[in-house]
Amino acid sequence: MNLLYPRLTLRQFLWMIVFGFGGALIAGVYGILHDQVTFEIGPEYFTEFKFQQFHDLSKAQPERVVVAEIGFLATWWVGFFAGWFMGRVSLPHLQLQKAARLSLKGVAVMMLTALVFATASYLMAPASPDDPRMDTWERMLAGRDVIDPVAFVQVAYIHNASYLGGLVGLIVALMWMRKARTSAANSA
């Protein structure tokens, strides 16, 4: 099969879209939970930055609801593409049920990697205002009413690392899935 121009049946193509929407839903829920946890660590990252970034969302709702909406909107698209690519790797070579199981395992690998990156970045983030790395955040914090800049920066570290972890996790998952699908296809 050519990687650039795959030969897919219409049924496989439609299932790839379903895998994409499944990935979007899983990633959206992950984003909601992720942002609820990071809101607990540093609410000002949301109130002084993310709320402006997602300015179209109604601020008349409770803050936690807005944070959940931001979490979903910031991550669903990552899951859609991940689900699409995982379907692309598995569907043309495996039966639907096997492809779905393999793709769900791939999603788990991706999410676990993102979680490990996020946790590691939190542990490596500045822990006090005297940390020299805080100086690099002066421009970001300027003009914002941030009372706890350390927590703001810690949450920024977590969010950036989560995206990087998601990308690394996707690459690892796709490589693992490709090897696993070959083994499964050869044993069938």
Reported as a pLDDT band with limits 50, 70 and 90, residue 3 is low
Among candidates 173, 171, 167, which has minimal Cα distance to 106? Answer: 173
Helix axes 10-41, 63-90, angle to 10 degrees: 150
Q: Where are the domains of the chain?
A: 10-187
In this prediction, residue 59 carries a pLDDT of 83
Mean pLDDT computed over every residue of the chain: 93
Secondary-structure percent of the chain, ordered helix, strand, coil, rounded to 5: 80, 0, 20
For residues 45 and 151, is the Cβ–Cβ distance under 8 A?
yes
- 57 vs 165: CA distance, rounded Å: 27
- 27 vs 78: CA distance, rounded Å: 7
What pLDDT digit, counting tens, does each position of 165-181 carry?
A: 999 999 999 999 999 88
C-alpha atoms less than 13 angstroms from C-alpha of 33 in its C-beta half-sphere? 9
Burial degree of 119 (CB within 10 A; 0-12, 13-18, 19+) = middle
SS3 127: coil
In this prediction, residue 134 carries a pLDDT of 96
Does the pTM surpass 0.85? The reply is yes
Reported as a pLDDT band with limits 50, 70 and 90, residue 188 is low
For residues 94 and 87, is the Cβ–Cβ distance under 8 A?
no
Mean pLDDT of 82-98: 92
For residues 164 and 115, is the Cβ–Cβ distance under 8 A?
no
Question: Bigger pLDDT: 177 or 3?
Answer: 177
What pLDDT digit, counting tens, does each position of 17-37 carry?
A: 999 999 999 999 999 999 999
For residues 158 and 36, is the Cβ–Cβ distance under 8 A?
no
What pLDDT digit, counting tens, does each position of 38-80 carry?
A: 999 999 999 999 999 999 999 899 999 999 999 999 999 999 9
